[in-house]
Amino acid sequence: MTAYQHILVAIDESPISYAAFEQAALLAQNLNAQITLMSVIAVDPFVGVDFYKVAPAITDYFMQAESNAQNRLDEIKANLERDGLKVNIKLIRGMSPSEGIIHVADEVGADLIMMGSHGRTGLQKLMLGSVAQHVLTQSPLPVLIVKA
């Protein structure tokens, strides 16, 4: 088996995703690998509904979420590049987080996915689902989960 050359790191606003990117940075430095940082703007629950014409605040909310995600990715990229790492960023819209992660991994040719997991269990996991669990079961690539 060859060393990992391209690590995909899923980033959201949670502290655990920041822990994942820090671990990915260490691994990338040791392996001389490149990193792609990515975020998914949550699937719009109003797709197909003529809702935006009556609620522009919702449109503003999604535009602000996208701007925040882009700024977060740009900031992390700049920090990693200062450490000498090769970093790309991707911002995905219109997919669930797990579908977006798997899609980007394929698109960029990643050979490892790293992501944080909130470690939800029981009813909380049942009600909220688990992005990490879905990526683990659906991705053909190795997935490294960083836990809190």
Q: What is the pLDDT of residue 26?
A: 95
123 CB neighbour count, 10 Å cutoff: 8
| Distance in angstroms (rounded) separating the CA atoms of residues 48 and 42 | 15
Percent of the chain with pLDDT over 90: 56
- Given a cut of 50, whether residue 67 has pLDDT beyond it is yes
Tokens of 52: 């935006």
Please state which CATH class domain 6-147 belongs to: alpha beta
Q: Is the pLDDT of residue 127 over 70?
A: no
Mean pLDDT, rounded, of the chain: 84
**pLDDT band, very low/low/confident/very high, at 114 (cuts 50, 70, 90):** very high
Q: What's the rounded Cα separation, in Å, for the pair 85 and 36? A: 11
Q: What pLDDT is attached to residue 111?
A: 96
Q: pTM value?
A: 0.84
Structure tokens at 111: 């050979």
Tell me the pLDDT tens digit for each residue of 6-65. 999 999 888 888 899 999 999 999 999 999 999 998 755 555 445 455 566 667 777 888
Q: What are phi and psi of 143, to 5 degrees?
A: -125, 125
Q: What is the pLDDT of residue 5?
A: 96
99: closest CA among 25, 38, 27, 34?
A: 38
The predicted pLDDT at position 64 comes to 86
- Lowest mean per-residue pLDDT among 69-73, 133-137, 138-142: 133-137
Q: Where are the beta strands (DSSP E) in 43-131?
A: 87-93, 112-117
Tokens of 145: 């989960």
